[in-house]
Chain A
Amino acid sequence: MNFKQWEGAKTLPVSITVTEELVNTYYEASGSSKKASQQVPPALPMIFYQSINVPWFQEQSFTHKDQVFHYEHPISIGETLQCTVSLISVEKRRRFLVLNQELIGKNKHKDIVFSAKSTLLKEAE
């Protein structure tokens, strides 16, 4: 995979609704007994990746180094978000490629609700 060719690319927007069932399943996985009556957990948006066709992810595995979530306001149960992923940069450092990418969720007014910036490592071929 030539990741450099995807630098600057952005996926098509995908509409994702955060259901109570989804949040409860997520809570179960993280060992929390809390039910989805209040807030959506802050790291939950990473599971949106499975709904988005990210071309530079096809059959690839990465080492996750850093993750940053930033919220303009909390996500509500039942809220529908338009989500995209952008590949911000691809740099070679020693024997690794460092990919910086960003998942963004916008509300129906097209205002950003959250961003999730990831730094991923891949052994250079």
Chain B
Amino acid sequence: MLPKTFKEGAVLDPLHIEVTEQMVKKYGDVSGDFNPIHFDDSAAQEKGFPGKIIHGMLSMAIASTIVEPLTQRDYWVKTYDMKFRAPVLVGETITITGTILALETDTVTIDLLVSNPTYPQVAKGRILLHVYK
């Protein structure tokens, strides 16, 4: 059962998550991605960033947690896409916003927006959820 507040155009409760150095280290460990731009300020600056940046796929991992209240119950993720537009610095707080784009009998489509204090659009994505049958 979906919450009664669920309707097309409704906005999910936003998430505000500080992406800590420890999270970046853990993501490096679990993914095997040890690109120095994620761990070393000077390496990141050499590539034109103001400081070390988080893995793009870490922001995608974090963003998907906004639908956990649904995937813990009746739904599973059929498709999930994201376009990465700007970097997130390690230690910044990102905000994930979800808007219900479409609500069908068996599916829910949610538009996602990831922002940080510097960029209103760090990443944009969409999740299509299917109901378990």
Chain A interface (Cβ < 8 Å from any Cβ of B)? 22, 25-26, 28-32, 34, 38-39, 41-44, 46-47, 49-50, 61, 64-71, 73-74
Contacts and interface: CB of A to CB of B under 8 A. Distances in A.
Interface in B26-53: 26-27, 29-33, 35, 37
B77 interface: yes
13 contacts: A22-B30, A30-B65, A31-B17, A31-B62, A41-B61, A42-B80, A47-B31, A50-B32, A65-B84, A66-B81, A69-B77, A69-B80, A69-B81
Interface of B: 17, 19, 23, 26-27, 29-33, 35, 37, 56-58, 60-62, 64-65, 68, 71-72, 76-84, 127
B32 A67 contact: no
A47 B30 contact: yes
A99 B65 CA distance: 28
A62 B129 CA distance: 30
B90 to A, nearest CB: 13
B58 A30 contact: yes
Contacts of A38: 71-72
Nearest to B79: A70
Nearest to B63: A43
A88 B94 CA distance: 32
Contact of B79 (A47, A66, A71): A71
Given A25-B26, A61-B35, A32 B77 contact: no
Contact of A74 (B29, B32, B77): B77
A48 to B, nearest CB: 9
Contacts of A43: 57, 60-61, 64, 80
Given A43-B57, A46-B31, A31 B80 contact: no
Given A29-B27, A30-B62, A67 B17 contact: no
A29 B61 contact: yes
Nearest to B35: A61
A29 B84 contact: no
A23 to B, nearest CB: 10
A68 B81 contact: yes
Nearest to B126: A68
Given A30-B61, A61-B35, A66-B81, 4 more contacts: A31-B23, A47-B30, A67-B60, A71-B78
